[in-house]
Structures are given as C-alpha cells and as structure tokens.
Structure 1
Amino acid sequence: MSNENRMATEPIGRLLLQMSLPPLFSMFLQYSYNLADSAFVARLSEDALTAVSFSFPLTTLMNAVSIWIGVGVNILISGYLGQKKQEKANDTVTLGLLLSFAVGAAINLAAFLILPAYFKAFTSDASIYSLSIAYMSVCAFMQVPNMVHIAIQKMIQATGNMIGPMWFQIAGVVFNFIFDPLLIFGIGPFPTMGIRGAAVATVGGYTLSMLLAFAMLLCTKQKIRIRIKGFCWEWTAVRRVFALGLPSFIMNALSAFMVTIVNLFLAAYSATAIAFFGAYFKVQQLIVMTVNGLIQGCLPIMRFSYGAGNSRRLNLAFRDGTLLVVWMMALGTAAIAVFPAQILGLFTASAEMQEYGVTAMRIMAVGYVFCGLSTMVSTYLQATEQVFVSMLLQMMRQFALLVPVMWLLERQLGIIGIWLSFPVAEVTTFLAAVLLMRRFQKKQRSLHPAEA
C-alpha cells in the first residue's frame, strides 16, 4: 500500500500511533540530555546546578538553530522527492551538510564571544560565574555535531524513514548517561572533571550521534545521498532552507528567551530560585516536548486530510490527537502534583529549594493540559494554512502574554506571582485558541456550505 493510500484510508487511531510514536520517542530522547546533565551536576553543588540553569537558554537557542536548518532541509527534500527530482534532492543533502557545518562553526565562535558578558548579566557571584564559563566553554563545541546529526535525521525522515534516525539518537543519549557520572565524579580510570565532565559527556554524545548519522547516510541504502559531482552551491536554495525552517526556529527559540527573562526576574530573589527553576524546567520540557512529539505526528495527517478536502478525517485526527494529548498532559500534571519532593530529590534539592519548590511545581503544573490543548489548536491551524495565527498562539503562551502577566503578578504577589503567571498565561492562550479556531471553522463553513 502506498503512503498516500495509507494516509487516506488507514483508521485514524492506528495512523496516529504509527506517525506519532517515532517523533514522540525522539523528543523524549532529545530532552533527556539536559535532564541528565542537571541531575548529575546537582550532586556537585547548588552553585553548579545554577550554572547549568544559566546555560540552558544558550543550549536551547543553539538547538533551535539546528532544528531551523534541519526542518528547512527536510521540507525542501520532501518536495523534490514528491516531484521526482532526485538530483535536486541529492543536491539539497549536500547543501544541508555544508550549511550545517558552516552555521555550526559560526554559532560556536559566537558563543565564545558572548559568554563573559552573558553570564555577568545574571550573577556577580564569582563561583557561579566561573562554573558557568567552565560548562559553556565546552558545551559550545556541541553545535557542529548537533547541527549535522539533526540535519541528517531530518534528511532521512524526509524519505519517510522515521525509525532509522532514532537509533543514532539513542546511542548519543546512552553515551551521555554513561559518561556523565564517570567524567563528573572521576569513577574508575576517568579523571574527576566536575561540571566540565557533564559538558564533555554532552558533546561526546552529540558527536557519536553525528558519526553514526553519517554512517547511516553513507553506508546504508537510503532514498537520498550526498551528491559531489555536478553539485553547485545555490543561494536561492539556501534562502529557501532558512525561510521554510523559520517557524520551527521561532517556536523552539521562544523557550530560550522565556527562560532568560524568568532568570532575570528570579535573580532579584536568590541563586537557589534560579537553580530550582532550571531543574524544574528540565522536567517540564521533558513532559511538554515529549507530548509535542505526539503532536508532530498529528500534523502531517491533518495536513494531508485538509489538502485532500476530507474534513471528516481532518476533524477525526484533531479529536483523537487532542484526546491523547490531554491524557498525556494530565499524567504529567499528576506526576508533578503527587511527587514534587521526589522529583526535586533527583537534583539534590536543599531544604530551601524544597520549601518553595514543591508549591511552585504544583502551581505551574496546573497549566499543562491547557498548554497541550492550545498547542493542538495551533497545530490544527498550521495544518489548515493559518500559519500566522498558529505562530501567534505560540508566541502568546511563551512570551507576548506570559511576560507582562509575570511582571504584573510579581509586583503584587512576589515570587508566587512568577509561578502563577504560567498557568494564567496557558489558560488565557487556550481561550484565545478556542475563539480563533471557531472563527476559522465558521469561515470555512460559509465558504463550503455543502460540507457543513
């Protein structure tokens, strides 16, 4: 059965699982990196955890650039393969690899240049500053292998192979989990490297993923390959890669800017508050981004159904996907609400961190289900070519609405206001999402009354 027939005829529930499980698992692995680093680093000291928390927006932004290039290449290759332009697809493979190396090296250099000023903006504590520099001066080297392995992952996924790329991601995560404690604490023959050891393990994991990705691309049978003979660098193609991947970059970069602003708010309270939020956010991202992997699987089904004019399957995919998202987000909320102290224990939380951290986690977790619902609506609008509105909703919940609400509530309630701003922003964004979706569906019914 062809992929088109499967997308058109496969029962929606089964199709959702087939399309969603690989990206769900992939996102879970991707965000396990940061969680593992923070959990092991916290055993060194709270200052070390604070340093990693300060570094998180930078590594998130670096990862967003990697996804930007990867998604742009993915869309371009998919289009060429659909048009049966094999040579153009192969040219894009070569272009994507060269672009990944070049942009990765530029980001690496830029990171070195901004690190001193960036960390001085957040702390005057000499210990935290030196730990932050020690960590990020090594982590900066992750950018080239990260960009290249994500680019190859997206290239292979563009051919319909969703399973293969998971294996080199699994290898990188396993490497990181094994070598984090060995290099941080100097177990066995390994030197005691402290916080630098966590960074070396992270860079090593990405490097292993890149090498295995190259091996898969070069040494296994794939529908695309590197084209050297006859390849010509085209600036038009470069611009298309950046343009096509821009929405994905914006969505991923927003969390980096949001964490930076929250850290600025928390800096007025204590380094412990920053360390707590850094630890919590790793857990939150693991939950939310894993669910976003599920949503990524819903998108092509809804997009295909909309393109085919099949509103019934479009709405079924949205309904069934939403039910799965709500169930997963509710499970994440329950885990945070019931086990906040145990989760903080993974990060060797001090008594002070536990004292307000438990309450803060329970408050912020209230917004998870609403986050999932608004993200599903945003994805539905993206699938139905309402891209600007889709991006607007994501900007509201992570930046445009969250920041002013945080400012207002913090002035009235202190640090509790910072935690409350998250569910307030999520609920408000959800209400806006419902209104925008109903407006769009009403417009569609007026344009196509026969389908109503």
Structure 2
Amino acid sequence: MQTNNKMAVAPVGKLIWQMSLPPLISMFLQYSYNLIDSAFVARLSENALTAVSLSFPITTLMNAASIWIGVGVNVLIAGYLGERKQDEANITVTHGLLLAFGIGALLNLLSLLIMKPYFRAFTNNEEIYQLSIAYMSVCSFMQIPNMVHIAIQKMIQATGNMVAPMWFQIAGVVVNFALNPILIFGVGIFPTMGIRGSAVATVAGYLLSMILAFVLLLGKKQKVRIKIKGFRLQKRLIGRIFALGLPSFIMNALSSFMVTFVNLFLVAYSDTAIAFFGAYFKVQQLIVMTVNGLIQGCLPVMRFNYGAGNSERLHAAFRYGTALVTGMMILGTLAILLFPAQILELFTASEAMRSFGISAMRIMAASYLFCGLSTMISTYFQATEQLMPSMLIQLLRQLLLLIPFMWCLEKLLKITGIWLSFPVAEATTFVLAFLLFQAGKRKEALCGDAKTQ
C-alpha cells in the first residue's frame, strides 16, 4: 500500500532531525528557564534556593504525570495513523484531553494537601519551611494548564508536525523568563513578591502555552481532531493510554523519588548540601532533558514504522538516534567537567557549597553517556510495545540500583559516596539494558527465521 506520509518515506536521518530539533529546542528552553529560575531565586538567599530545591520533587512528579498522558496519547495516535485508522486517532485526542483536565485537577488538589507534611519532613528551619509553602502553594496551580498543553503538544507531534508545538511551548517559556525577575524583585508597577513571584511566573507561562495549544489544535490544518459526535468513554482506550505512557512516567517520576531519597541522605550533612543538589540537578536536567527532546523525536518515527511493519526503518531510526544521543551526552559531560565553578557561580554559591560542589559535579557528570544510551534502548522497547523491559531500565537507573549503591557508598565514603553512586548505577544499568536489547534482537531473529520456514 502506498503512502505519502513522510514518516514512511522520508530519509531516516533527515526525518530524525526534522522530528527531533523542535522538541530538542523546546526542552532546552524549558529547562534553561528552570535553571535560570533557580539562579534568580538564589539571589534572594541560600534558604530560598533550598526551598525551591525541596519543592522540585513535587513539581517533577506533576510534570511526570503530564508526560505520562502526553506520551501515551502520542504513541497511540502515531500507531493509529501508521495503520491508517483516522477515526481511532481522533477518539484518542478526546480521551487525552479529558484525562489531562481530570488528572490535572486531582494532582493540583493533592499537591496542596501534602505539601505541609512533606516540607516538615525535610527541614526544621522555619524560614525554609515558610518559603517552601509560599512557593508551592502557588506552583500547584500550574498542573491543569501544564497537563493540557503537554497532551496537545504530543498529539500534534504524533502527526509528524514537530514545529508548531515548539512555538506555543516557547511562548510560555518566554513569559516565564520575562516575569521571573519582574515579580521576584519588583519592577515598575509590579510589587516585590519574592519567591512567590517565581511561582506566579511559572503558572502564567503554562497558562499561555495551554491557550495557544488549544488554538492550534482547533485549526483546520491539523491531521487529528477532537471527536465529539458519537463520542463515548472507552475503558480499554484509557487503559492503553496509561500503559503506553507508563515508561515515560516512570522515567520522569523516578527523578522525583530519586531527588527525595537523595535529600534524605543529604539532610544529615547540611541545608547547603540540599541547596547544591537542587541547583546541580537543574543543570543535569538541562542536559539530560534536552537530549530527551531528541529521543522524543525518535519515538514517533520508530513507533510509526513499527505500526506499519517496516522493521528496517525502525532499526535505522534507532541507530541514527543512538549516534546523536552519544554525541550530545559527550558534549554535556565535557561542559560540566570543564566549567563547574562557573556553573556554580550562576547560583551565587557560597564558599561552603563550592568546597564540595565542584568535585561533586565532575563525579556525577560521568553518568551522562550511560544515561543517554540506556534511555534510548528503553525508548526502543516503548516504541515496540515491550513495556516491561522499558520500565525495568528506568527503575534500575533511578531506584533499584541507585539507592542501594548510594547507601553502600555513603557508608564507605560519606558524602562523596552519594555523588559516586550516580555514575556507578548508570553504568551498571547500561550493561543490563544492552544485554536485554541483544536478547530481544536474538528473539526477533529466531521469530523471523521461523516465519520464513
């Protein structure tokens, strides 16, 4: 059957760049904002930076839920379009929007309910506690617009249009970036809001992105649409959205749990250690999530060609994406190795923070390449509906291996062992992921031989 869909016929290398560059740029700008947000807050005080660092696991978990629904919808729509099932793709759009609104409201409420006991568990410093509450009590309201705009972004990306979603995300980032210093420090008619101003800027940015995303989705040129006539909720479809997006949720949610566990280790040392790790993690997220933007571009290409039964293009996309991920992770590692002191200066680092922070950053940067390769293998499994190995890789990276390694190495090397546990866990995970991938390829080869006999 002939098709003019570029996902099926365009040269793989060119297609990967077309699909990956917009989300890569979006991710870079998004996490640049997160980094600069912390840099502005750090100018208020180290306690303010600590408060944002303590809030980070909650906001990360909220983002993970948004990505869960978004990626589940993305993978499902891309597969349906590959199978030429337009009506099913449109039905998925409507389900995705309903889930985004409903779960977004639930998480907003849940965040407001848990934040006080959560922050009390991590600090006895009353100023840090009050700053954390001031920040999170506003930031909780980002969840509905965040969830809806990410869902629409993934819907449109599933059709092969990676450029348009980039612009409404960039618009939100620009608003975030512009309002941050204005609302934190007070400029002109705007009052000085301190740490609360940073949270208001975040919510405003997400709200603008959601509005623009809806305008784009309702446009006549979109290849998928909201289906209202004859619509009814389908439990099986909702289950597939949850299942297909679950590996991405686990990858991102584990970041939240991982930061929480690390903070539990660091609280025994100092508030400065918690502030440092929060600042460093923003830098790591800038690198890792920018590369993840590249991987997001590979996912619909692999998924489409898996749905279309074109294994040659599926594997070509995986190989090309892996090469790009390798190059980008090497560059990110070199940036941290060469400029740790300059990066810490962005956060107005105290001498106490610099005394351990420079070496800590260099140690943890050794994990980046292994992280990128493992995530690429996990994404391949996700695209080919091998969800268990995909989820296992993410669990190993950020929980099942990391926490035991951290516990053992911290006992042996104190705080240095905490930093060292990251490259040790990532390297071990990559070895296991590679073995899983090779086992999967051997199984595919055996199945192929059986079919030809």
TM-score by length of 1: 0.93
Preserved contact between residue 183 and residue 190 of structure 2 (Cα < 8 Å): yes
| Structure-2 change in CA distance of 1:313 and 1:148 (3 Å) | closer
Give the structure 2 partner of residue 363 of structure 1. Answer: 363
Alignment deviations for residues 398-441 of structure 1 (CA, whole Å, 9 cap, x no partner): 11100000000001100000000001111111121222222233
Deviation at 1:232, TM superposition (A): 3.2
SS of corresponding position for 2:224: coil
| Structure-2 change in CA distance of 1:216 and 1:300 (3 Å) | closer
SS of corresponding position for 2:161: coil
Once structures 1 and 2 are overlaid, which stretch shifts more, 83-92 or 247-256?
A: 83-92
Point out where structure 2 has 5 or more consecutive residues left out of the alignment.
none
Preserved contact between residue 81 and residue 304 of structure 2 (Cα < 8 Å): no
| Structure-2 change in CA distance of 1:451 and 1:424 (3 Å) | farther
Alignment deviations for residues 288-341 of structure 1 (CA, whole Å, 9 cap, x no partner): 111111122223444455566665544443333222111111110111011101
Deviation at 1:347, TM superposition (A): 0.9
SS of corresponding position for 1:224: coil
| Structure-2 change in CA distance of 1:3 and 1:340 (3 Å) | farther
Preserved contact between residue 33 and residue 202 of structure 1 (Cα < 8 Å): no
Q: Which amino acid aligns with 2:98?
A: L
Give the structure 2 partner of residue 125 of structure 1. Answer: 125
For 1:348 and 1:284, the matched residues in 2 are separated by: 18
For 1:237 and 1:447, the matched residues in 2 are separated by: 29
Percent sequence identity over aligned pairs: 70
Deviation at 1:259, TM superposition (A): 0.6
Give the structure 2 partner of residue 141 of structure 1. Answer: 141
Once structures 1 and 2 are overlaid, which stretch shifts more, 158-167 or 240-249?
A: 240-249
Q: Is 1:14 matched up with 2:11? A: no
Deviation at 1:64, TM superposition (A): 1.0
Q: Which amino acid aligns with 1:35?
A: L
Alignment deviations for residues 3-36 of structure 1 (CA, whole Å, 9 cap, x no partner): 6664454333222212221221232233234212
Alignment deviations for residues 52-108 of structure 1 (CA, whole Å, 9 cap, x no partner): 000001001001111122223334444555565555544443333233222211111
For 2:343 and 2:203, the matched residues in 1 are separated by: 26
Once structures 1 and 2 are overlaid, which stretch shifts more, 162-171 or 23-32?
A: 23-32
Give the structure 2 partner of residue 152 of structure 1. Answer: 152
Deviation at 1:240, TM superposition (A): 3.4
| Structure-2 change in CA distance of 1:102 and 1:386 (3 Å) | closer
| Structure-2 change in CA distance of 1:188 and 1:365 (3 Å) | same
Point out where structure 1 has 5 or more consecutive residues left out of the alignment.
none
Once structures 1 and 2 are overlaid, which stretch shifts more, 2-11 or 293-302?
A: 2-11
| Structure-2 change in CA distance of 1:212 and 1:316 (3 Å) | closer
Give the structure 2 partner of residue 275 of structure 1. Answer: 275
Deviation at 1:218, TM superposition (A): 2.8
For 1:417 and 1:222, the matched residues in 2 are separated by: 51
Give the structure 2 partner of residue 341 of structure 1. Answer: 341
Preserved contact between residue 138 and residue 196 of structure 1 (Cα < 8 Å): yes
Give the structure 2 partner of residue 288 of structure 1. Answer: 288
| Structure-2 change in CA distance of 1:185 and 1:417 (3 Å) | same
Deviation at 1:254, TM superposition (A): 0.9
For 1:381 and 1:372, the matched residues in 2 are separated by: 14
Give the structure 1 partner of residue 247 of structure 2. Answer: 247
Q: Is 1:192 matched up with 2:192? A: yes
Deviation at 1:384, TM superposition (A): 4.3
Alignment deviations for residues 217-264 of structure 1 (CA, whole Å, 9 cap, x no partner): 235532333344543344444333323322221221111111110011
Preserved contact between residue 74 and residue 300 of structure 2 (Cα < 8 Å): no
Q: Which amino acid aligns with 2:434?
A: V
Preserved contact between residue 364 and residue 419 of structure 2 (Cα < 8 Å): yes
Preserved contact between residue 50 and residue 271 of structure 1 (Cα < 8 Å): yes
SS of corresponding position for 2:124: coil
For 1:451 and 1:25, the matched residues in 2 are separated by: 43
| Correspondences of 1:32-51 after superposition (within 5 Å) | 32-51=32-51
Q: Which amino acid aligns with 1:218?
A: L
Give the structure 2 partner of residue 386 of structure 1. Answer: 386
| Structure-2 change in CA distance of 1:300 and 1:406 (3 Å) | same
Preserved contact between residue 244 and residue 387 of structure 2 (Cα < 8 Å): no
TM-score by length of 2: 0.93
For 2:241 and 2:445, the matched residues in 1 are separated by: 35
Give the structure 2 partner of residue 203 of structure 1. Answer: 203
Give the structure 2 partner of residue 374 of structure 1. Answer: 374
Preserved contact between residue 42 and residue 49 of structure 2 (Cα < 8 Å): yes
Alignment deviations for residues 98-125 of structure 1 (CA, whole Å, 9 cap, x no partner): 3322221111111111111000010111
Cα RMSD of the aligned pairs, angstroms, is 2.5
Give the structure 1 partner of residue 441 of structure 2. Answer: 441
Q: Which amino acid aligns with 2:297?
A: G
| Structure-2 change in CA distance of 1:12 and 1:87 (3 Å) | closer
Give the structure 2 partner of residue 256 of structure 1. Answer: 256
Preserved contact between residue 123 and residue 129 of structure 2 (Cα < 8 Å): yes
| Correspondences of 1:164-243 after superposition (within 5 Å) | 164-243=164-243
Give the structure 2 partner of residue 429 of structure 1. Answer: 429
